[in-house]
């Protein structure tokens, strides 16, 4: 999978995408992420990428021309399955969308800043608008990093244990059951007996029951 990201603060994306599983996905050639700095496409001698909003009001808006120039350059190189704009008024991002995006080949993410991007860029290019939650970030970069991370780990071969991503929280609209490692007893707290026995069927049933109980108490909305 290839992911291009347009940003005015590319530094914000460097660290989250260059460690751990995201780095491994790129080292293995399963994921390629390119961050494109919008600033050189800015207008005038100050490379301006934003301007006052028509109609007045606080906050700047990202201008059409720099974004269009960079997007057109990228589109000349490849077609995108989705051009995604990160915005708090987008579709609420969840595992179902992550699963679907992980099946695609080419994605372009546009990170907004200030009051957002000029509406006409959304109309002209954007095919999908995503929000990572009902709160406002100072830019789309952290949202893009969250989404790229959640997609990248789903790509076949990225996570060592192939079945691991399938047993994650949310994959069956269920929260994951509790997990334990050694020691079997710590500060008087014991790992449940069933997990220490070798009965695979009993372990599976225990995990299912725990997942359902946990979901019912913590996230009943998932069971609806
Ligand atoms: N940009 C600012 N806030 C955001 C959010 N909650 N989700 C996605 N992009 C954003």
The CATH number of the domain where 193 resides is what? 1.10.1270.20
d(CA 62, CA 83): 17
The arithmetic mean of pLDDT across residues 103-110, rounded, is: 98
The whole-number pLDDT of residue 171 equals: 82
The whole-number pLDDT of residue 158 equals: 93
The closest residue, in CA terms, to atom 6 on ligand 1 is 88
Domain final residue pick, 120, 152, 184:
152
Residue listed under structure tokens 């579709």: 91
Q: Are residues 195 and 115 in the same domain?
A: no
Residue 166 has pLDDT above 80, yes or no: no
pLDDT band per the 50, 70, 90 thresholds, residue 163: low
CB 73 within 8 A of CB 10: no
The closest residue, in CA terms, to atom 4 on ligand 1 is 88
d(CA 15, CA 174): 30
Ligand 1 pocket, residue 131 CB under 6 Å: yes
pLDDT band per the 50, 70, 90 thresholds, residue 162: low
Please give the residue range of the domain that contains residue 210.
Answer: 167-223
Q: Is residue 207 part of a domain?
A: yes
Q: Are residues 12 and 83 in the same domain?
A: yes
Q: Is residue 101 part of a domain?
A: yes
- In the reported structure, the alpha carbon of residue 12 is separated from the centroid of ligand 1 by a whole-number distance in angstroms of 14
The whole-number pLDDT of residue 19 equals: 93
Q: pTM for the full model? A: 0.95
Closest CA to 126 of 112, 114, 137: 112
Ligand 1 pocket, residue 144 CB under 6 Å: no
Q: Are residues 108 and 19 in the same domain?
A: yes
Ligand 1 pocket, residue 143 CB under 6 Å: yes
Could you tell which of 132, 141, 146, 148 is best to mutate to test the pocket of ligand 1, judged by most ligand atoms within 8 Å of the CB? Answer: 132
pLDDT band per the 50, 70, 90 thresholds, residue 167: confident
Q: Is residue 162 part of a domain?
A: no
**Total domain count, the chain:** 2
């Amino acid at each position: 999978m290839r992911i291009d990201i347009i940003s005015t603060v590319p530094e914000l994306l460097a660290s989250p995408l260059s460690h751990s599983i995201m780095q491994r996905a790129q080292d293995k050639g399963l994921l390629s992420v390119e961050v494109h700095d919008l600033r050189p496409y800015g207008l005038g001698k100050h490379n301006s990428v934003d301007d006052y909003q028509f109609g007045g009001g606080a906050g700047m808006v990202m201008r059409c021309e720099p974004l269009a120039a960079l997007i057109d350059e990228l589109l000349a190189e490849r077609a995108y399955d989705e051009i995604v704009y990160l915005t708090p008024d987008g579709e609420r991002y969840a595992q179902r969308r992550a699963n679907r995006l992980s099946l695609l080949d080419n994605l372009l993410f546009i990170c907004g800043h200030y009051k957002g991007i000029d509406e006409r860029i959304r109309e002209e290019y954007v095919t999908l608008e995503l929000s990572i939650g009902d709160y406002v970030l100072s830019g789309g970069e952290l949202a893009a990093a969250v989404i790229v991370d959640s997609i990248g780990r789903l790509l076949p071969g990225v996570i060592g244990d192939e079945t691991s991503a399938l047993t994650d929280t949310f994959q069956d609209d269920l929260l994951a059951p509790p997990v334990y490692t050694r020691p079997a007893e710590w500060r008087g707290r014991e790992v449940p007996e069933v997990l220490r026995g070798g009965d695979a069927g009993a372990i599976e049933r225990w995990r299912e029951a725990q997942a359902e109980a946990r979901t019912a108490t913590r996230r009943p909305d998932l069971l609806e």
